[in-house]
């Protein structure tokens, strides 16, 4: 699947929020994000892509759309982070797009910094845990080692991933006109797909602190790891 930019507004930013069972987080995240952007005069829209979460995430997001610029897409009978992000991209109407988690691990105050870097001419801006000044909060040794190992594997197998300190990041922005978003429907790591498909794009990093999850549960599991390995092998040879 390949997405090319349709005619878009260049004076605003679209935020894509993939969600699955994030009702408690979305309730806090959307007002916080929208207020931060509004206070800096940044026109924005928030596109929530929910996979029919049983905890009522979509209903919470829809209720917030009365007060905030929120559009809610509910996918039924489908699951998957990467495909949700791709669907979100298609629904955006601004030239600049930021993808971030809805669980507050990606701090909303970093979004204006990503937007500024895009305005300054970067095509892809990666919010990086591993750039100088970035970090992670609340991870045990095992999670740190897993993340580092996954990053090293990406560097080994996918040359285009070496342009950022954090190719596994789920928090990034891009200028839609400058990138082609190609992605398999499976998989978790959409940034890797974008880096691989856009070797000409100018990539910049913005450091940030990955926060501990306060509400809800992680969806990271064994399937995610297996999907990631399959994705690496596929992209290493295509
Ligand atoms: N639409 C959709 N969103 C998903 C799916 N899986 C995860 N998400 C969302 O994607 C974001 C990242 O998922 P997380 O489970 O937080 O993954 P993670 O941040 O790598 O892992 P933790 O640090 O353990 O939270 C969150 O906003 C999730 O709600 C899915 O299958 N469909
Ligand atoms: Mg998370």
**pLDDT, tens only, 79-114:** 889 899 999 999 999 999 999 999 999 999 999 999
pTM for the whole thing?
Answer: 0.92
Q: Ligand 2: distance of its center to the CA of 164 in Å?
A: 20
Q: Ligand 2: distance of its center to the CA of 1 in Å?
A: 26
CA distance 45 to 92: 8
Q: Is the CB of 49 under 6 A from ligand 1?
A: yes
Q: Is the CB of 161 under 6 A from ligand 1?
A: no
Query: Which helix (H) or strand (E) is 205 found in, with range?
Result: strand 203-207
Q: Tell how far CA 190 is from the center of its chain.
A: 8
Evaluate the CA torsion angle 125, 126, 127, 132 in order and state its sign. Answer: negative
Q: Where are the alpha helices (DSSP H) in the chain?
A: 23-39, 57-64, 81-91, 111-119, 141-157, 190-197, 222-236
Phi-psi region of 174 (alpha: psi -120 to 50; beta: other; left: phi over 0): beta
CA distance 219 to 80: 10
In the chain, domain spans: 10-236
Atom of ligand 1 nearest to the CA of 49: 1
Strands 181-182 and 2-3: antiparallel
The full DSSP string for 66-101 is TTS-EEEEE-SS---HHHHHHHHHHH--EEEEEE--
**95 Cβ contact partners less than 8 Å away, ≥ 6 residues apart:** 5, 8, 9, 10, 12, 175, 176, 177
| Confidence (pLDDT) at 36 | 98
Q: pLDDT band for 235, please (50, 70, 90 cuts).
A: confident
Nearest to 172 by CA among 210, 131, 125, 219: 125
Determine the CATH number of domain 10-236. 3.90.550.10
Q: Is the pLDDT of residue 180 over 80?
A: yes
Nearest CA to ligand 1 atom 31: 80
Task: Give strand pairing partners of 80.
Answer: none
Q: How many Cβ atoms from other residues are within 10 Å of residue 54's Cβ?
A: 8
| Confidence (pLDDT) at 3 | 56
CA distance 72 to 194: 24
| Least confident range of 1-10, 78-87, 172-181, 210-219 | 1-10
């Amino acid at each position: 699947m390949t997405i090319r930019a349709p005619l878009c507004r260049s004076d605003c930013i679209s935020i894509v929020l993939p969600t699955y069972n994030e009702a408690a987080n979305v309730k806090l995240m959307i007002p916080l994000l929208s207020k931060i952007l509004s206070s800096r005069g940044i026109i924005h829209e928030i596109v929530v892509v929910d996979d029919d979460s049983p905890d009522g995430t979509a209903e919470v997001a829809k209720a917030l759309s009365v007060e905030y610029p929120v559009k809610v897409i509910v996918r039924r009978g489908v699951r998957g982070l990467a495909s949700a992000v791709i669907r979100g991209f298609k629904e955006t109407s601004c030239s600049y797009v930021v993808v971030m988690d809805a669980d507050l691990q990606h701090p909303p105050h970093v979004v204006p910094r990503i937007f500024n870097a895009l305005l300054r001419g970067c095509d892809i801006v990666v919010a990086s845990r591993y750039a100088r000044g970035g970090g992670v909060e609340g991870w045990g040794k095992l999670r740190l080692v897993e993340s580092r190992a996954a990053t090293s594997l990406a560097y080994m197998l996918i040359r285009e991933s070496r342009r950022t300190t954090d190719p596994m990041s789920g928090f990034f922005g891009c200028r839609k006109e400058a990138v082609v978003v190609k992605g398999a429907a499976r998989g978790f790591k959409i940034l890797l797909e974008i880096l691989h498909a856009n070797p000409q794009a100018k990539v910049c990093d913005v450091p940030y602190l990955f926060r501990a999850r306060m509400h809800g549960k992680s969806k990271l599991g064994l399937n995610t790891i297996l999907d990631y390995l399959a994705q690496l092998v596929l992209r290493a040879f295509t």
